[in-house]
Structure 1
């Protein structure tokens, strides 16, 4: 299972084309059906009973506890949906005051739309949800009965027994049932994991809320905007510092040298010539620093030749051999190219400084409307995204463009850093 570093959502591979995926889906579906049905029935009945007792005062005390239990049950199903189906259903319960009395807690929870979504989901889960969870196990176990009939079980079945649409009355009809079982098993091979996905998507359809997704989206945009503002301010401070400490100091020195030269031209021509040479050297160094500063803001090769050639040029300046593979049908927007370039640059810098690798691979390609950059090294591994690390800065940079960062770096290596940015 991998984790989306931006959203925190779980993504699980279902192994749909393997027997293991079919059996695992059947076992999980059967467990959901057997455990969740009584839980949903109990939560629904207790909720109705407790709310019915509110007019006589008993429900004022019991309802907060019952609804808290319902939320625990529903949140448990949210966890299973994320871990088993890769379906993320974020909870969106309104906070309650810690010092609220039973009356305030009861009506505070009942005024929460998320509470009523939970209560609507309970009857859905005990009916349609139960069937969609049980069907994967039925699809897998029912063919076994057909094989058992062909193996001799047909002698024990009553007259007029039907296996599917096959009437079983003897060995030949039992073999027909086995042939039908083979067809059903092939169908189960493809349909079993998908039926479990249907169960989790049904859960999300009832428990999910467009308003919740919109609120989560607003939170993400607020965070990325704040990160973009902070990054922009930090970049401006860096440029100002570099100009003040580098090129500006040299240009001031050139100006002072020119003033001295003007005073020495008639008095000491030889000394004036020395100062002219010194001023020329200082101006060349100031120009080089300005060019390096401009390259740090937006490399000319990136503007002129695109992301692929800019990354190749970057790789040539590194002390470690870097193999660059580029498959980009065209050019993305300039801000996207710039973000991808500096993200790759930071990942390469981290690999050179910290991984101990003797070879690095960079892959750039576009798929499904997203620009994907992968930096892989054969170093010692152990890279993590943490506060103050270079990867955390890369994540913030990509977040500004709704991009994501994923890191796979087991101890002993290799390390793979994958970056994705939506692009036209």
Structure 2
């Protein structure tokens, strides 16, 4: 237990250091660039620079959202207004884009967050690595490290302990142990508190969040209806071109057999054999079609076992970790299964991955699926991409999709669907 807490304290200390550097370097730089760009708007230059700078601010905020979900399981919504599809190009389009971004309340929440992140956010996260490093330094004083320090500068003060002898060095080491004990209990809390502060700054108000959810559900409902219609047409086409055609051919063969059974028994026997083959092929096609609509293993054994079965059929080495205490509703399981299937297909086809990891968990009222691969990276949610289709599929259930895929990899796709287990 103590070893686990010590490990968590060190991990949280490293995370705090990373967050502090992101705040002190990224947030300060972006805040200054944004202010300068806004000041240049009256002379026309800022109209062209502001959208680019604000896009960088949004990317910076989105990275923090991903870390919040990954490190602290804190979900921070993405509240930006979508650009109209008929957005013009050229100078007029640039002016329109700049105006839309400045009118978006999320832009000013980002600015407020940058200001808080580079001050209170940075200070709070620096405490985490500071406790660990200060505690380790206190222990090192007991090795005699205090001697050259005292010889060079006189008495060395470690916090409130004046170190100038082995006795005081022992007191400093005891204080270092206290700092490490504090770090084991405080560091994870400090990191979670940082992300909660981030959520408080970036998340929209309750009314705005409800409005966004209504808009999102309305849009995804239309997408779901379109997808359902397309799926029905696909099923109809597969039945018409596959099983139905084989059954019709089999019926014709049986009619021929009936006419030949007395006149030419040998040919009738041959046609019976062909009819048997056609019936087997039609049955196989019907089973494949049913499996594509709703896999039997998903209905019989649940999402966890269905995902494990899917991993076994994946041509890339895939590890699956499932931590579920029950089952979700059938529509939720189906949406999660096919979304995961699409993510795996993308990883195999486009990422060039040698290994894939799948984590399936349930926490805070949401089913969470994380898919990580060691491929080339560069995946993004864009118009026409497979990830866009997954996002629409999850949106039908008020779910979200997050992608972290730097060039060179690794790629991590996280899907969350609010639901209850039973």
Query: Aligned with 1:82: secondary structure?
Result: helix
1:240 deviation in Å? 1.4
1:293 deviation in Å? 3.5
User: Would you say 1:187 and 2:182 are equivalent positions?
Assistant: yes
User: Would you say 1:298 and 2:294 are equivalent positions?
Assistant: yes
2:63 aligned to which of 53, 68, 82: 82
1:186-225 CA distance string (max 9 Å, x none): 4346645754654454344234323565565456545644
User: 1:208 maps to what in 2?
Assistant: 203
Kept after mapping to 2: 8 A contact 1:23/1:140: no
1:399–1:202: structure 2 CA closer, same or farther, 3 Å change rule?
A: closer
Kept after mapping to 1: 8 A contact 2:16/2:126: no
Kept after mapping to 2: 8 A contact 1:22/1:192: yes
User: 1:247 maps to what in 2?
Assistant: 243
| Range 107-116 or range 334-343, more displaced | 107-116
1:163 deviation in Å? 4.4
1:156-200 CA distance string (max 9 Å, x none): 569xx9944x5x497455753553344235434664575465445
1:115 deviation in Å? 6.7
User: 2:231 maps to what in 1?
Assistant: 235
1:233 deviation in Å? 2.6
1:24–1:176: structure 2 CA closer, same or farther, 3 Å change rule?
A: same
Query: Aligned with 2:263: secondary structure?
Result: helix
Structure 1: give runs of 5+ residues left out of the alignment. Answer: 1-14, 51-58
State the TM-score, normalized to the length of structure 2. 0.55
1:215-267 CA distance string (max 9 Å, x none): 654565456445533432332122211222233334444665677788x69xx
User: Would you say 1:132 and 2:124 are equivalent positions?
Assistant: yes
Kept after mapping to 1: 8 A contact 2:404/2:411: yes
State the TM-score, normalized to the length of structure 1. 0.55
Q: How many residues align?
A: 387
Query: Aligned with 2:228: secondary structure?
Result: helix
1:277–1:351: structure 2 CA closer, same or farther, 3 Å change rule?
A: farther
1:353–1:149: structure 2 CA closer, same or farther, 3 Å change rule?
A: closer
1:108–1:183: structure 2 CA closer, same or farther, 3 Å change rule?
A: same
1:275–1:326: structure 2 CA closer, same or farther, 3 Å change rule?
A: farther
| Higher helix residue share | 2
User: 2:8 maps to what in 1?
Assistant: 17
User: Would you say 1:270 and 2:260 are equivalent positions?
Assistant: no
Kept after mapping to 2: 8 A contact 1:64/1:105: no
1:125-176 CA distance string (max 9 Å, x none): 6874565366457656766699599646498569xx9944x5x497455753
1:109–1:354: structure 2 CA closer, same or farther, 3 Å change rule?
A: closer
Q: CA RMSD in A?
A: 6.8
Structure 2: give runs of 5+ residues left out of the alignment. Answer: 1-5, 69-75
For residues 409 and 129 of structure 1, the distance between their equivalents in structure 2, rounded to whole angstroms, comes to 25
For residues 35 and 348 of structure 1, the distance between their equivalents in structure 2, rounded to whole angstroms, comes to 33
